[in-house]
Amino acid sequence: MSSEQGSWLRSRSVWVLLGFLAIAAFFLWEEHQAHLLGILPYGLLLLCPLMHLFHRGHGGGDGGHDRKQEGDPR
């Protein structure tokens, strides 16, 4: 790694920006924590229909079509 590539990490403005972003993320989390955690149970409930849409089952996802072709009355 050359000195030009690693020099942006040593600049003071990058560290100030990272510090500002960390402080902003902390205050955003503190202010909106109750809203986000209050919605979490509903979000989990909304994921259930999506899981049923995209889940193919546990192997043999043909739905038993082979039995009908072989003449099985089931």
Residue keyed to tokens 């040593």: 10
CB 45 within 8 A of CB 52: no
pTM of the shown model: 0.44
Asked if residue 4 is part of any domain, the answer here is no
Asked if residue 60 is part of any domain, the answer here is no
Asked if residue 67 is part of any domain, the answer here is no
Instruction: Provide mean pLDDT across the span 6-14.
Output: 81
Confidence of residue 54 (pLDDT cuts 50, 70, 90): confident
Number of structural domains (the chain) is 1
Give me the domain span that covers residue 36.
Answer: 10-55
Asked if residue 46 is part of any domain, the answer here is yes
Asked if residue 50 is part of any domain, the answer here is yes
Which residue type sits at 35? H
Asked if residue 72 is part of any domain, the answer here is no
Asked if residue 73 is part of any domain, the answer here is no
Which pLDDT score, from 0 to 100, does residue 72 have? 58
